[in-house]
Amino acid sequence: RKEVEQDPGPFNVPEGATVAFNCTYSNSASQSFFWYRQDCRKEPKLLMSVYSSGNEDGRFTAQLNRASQYISLLIRDSKLSDSATYLCAVKPSGGYNKLIFGAGTRLAVHP
Amino acid sequence: DGGITQSPKYLFRKEGQNVTLSCEQNLNHDAMYWYRQDPGQGLRLIYYSQIVNDFQKGDIAEGYSVSREKKESFPLTVTSAQKNPTAFYLCASSTSGEGGMNGYTFGSGTRLTVV
């Protein structure tokens, strides 16, 4: 089993739709969680950290479910510009600040 | 503006040749990382460094080498021992410290192709 797993998609949604992605992780002691956005042939860029109580940034909401060991990303009112690959990243327990990334979920928003 | 710079953007390597990818940051970050990205496989950790003059192997270190002589710089050498080096290479940096972290800042990547 991979340490961090994501549904690769693609998720094809119309503009204005709400879409949600999940990311499961295997290490129950994982400490920090992130969502990154990666455009085609570009570097990943930090979209948002994921906090235990859940957090929101505009149209984006991130949540953590420690009991079931997954994090989620909800995008409301999808825009064409949201089309990208969304990577989740998890910091396992331990002193090293290294992240383990999922393979990414591709989102395609169409008119 | 602070950031992390990778060069070159594109690199072509002949069989049996060693090549070095540059990574420089002016964010005053202690920790630096090298990842490799292949289509459909996500990012895999090659090497990382928490502090100057110290580095550790990641999950796929074979065929690669690094150095960390300066805080700002973390070059990656892809040696001839790396049999399948064609990939997108990403350098990242972060603050280091125990407990939580603020995530990585990535460079724009180097796309390496074997010819």
| Mutate which: A3, A4, A43, vs B, most B CBs within 10 A | A43
pLDDT digit of tens for each residue in chain A (111 aa)? 788 999 888 999 999 999 999 999 998 888 889 999 999 999 999 999 998 888 999 999 999 999 999 999 999 999 999 999 999 999 887 656 788 999 999 999 999
Mean pLDDT per 10-residue segment, chain B (115 residues)? 91 91 95 92 92 94 97 96 92 73 87 91
pLDDT attached to residue B106 = 94
pLDDT attached to residue B1 = 67
Residue B18 gets which letter from DSSP? -
β-strand partners of A1: none
pLDDT attached to residue B99 = 44
Distance CA B69, CA B35 (A): 19
Chains A and B form CB pairs within 8 A to the count of: 59
With beta carbons less than 8 A apart as the criterion, state whether B14 and B8 touch.
no
User: Residue A47's closest chain B neighbor by CA?
Assistant: B103
User: Residue A95's closest chain B neighbor by CA?
Assistant: B98
Q: Pick from A43, A99, A104: which is nearest to B109 by CB?
A: A43
CB contact under 8 A, A97 and B96: yes
Query: Which amino acid makes up residue B43?
Result: L
Distance CA A34, CA A4 (A): 12
**Each residue's pLDDT tens digit, B49-65:** 999 999 999 999 999 99
Q: Which residues in chain B are closer than 8 Å to A8, comparing Cβ atoms? A: 40
Q: Is B98 on the interface with A (CB under 8 A)?
A: yes
pLDDT attached to residue B97 = 59
| Mutate which: A30, A33, A88, A97, vs B, most B CBs within 10 A | A97
With beta carbons less than 8 A apart as the criterion, state whether A60 and A48 touch.
yes
Q: In the Cβ-directed half-sphere of B80, how many Cα atoms lie within 13 Å?
A: 5
pLDDT attached to residue B58 = 93
Distance CA A110, CA A93 (A): 39
CB under 8 Å, gap of 24 or more: what pairs does A23-26 form?
Answer: A23/A70, A23/A71, A23/A72, A23/A73, A23/A88, A23/A90, A23/A102, A23/A105, A24/A68, A24/A69, A24/A70, A25/A69, A25/A70, A25/A71, A25/A90, A25/A100, A26/A1, A26/A2, A26/A69
For A46, B33, B67, B70, B73, the CA distances from B54, given in Å and listed in that order, are 26, 12, 8, 10, 12
CB contact under 8 A, A31 and B99: yes
CB contact under 8 A, A34 and B96: no
User: Residue B108's closest chain A neighbor by CA?
Assistant: A43
pLDDT attached to residue B103 = 79
SS3 at position A82: helix
Q: Is B104 on the interface with A (CB under 8 A)?
A: yes
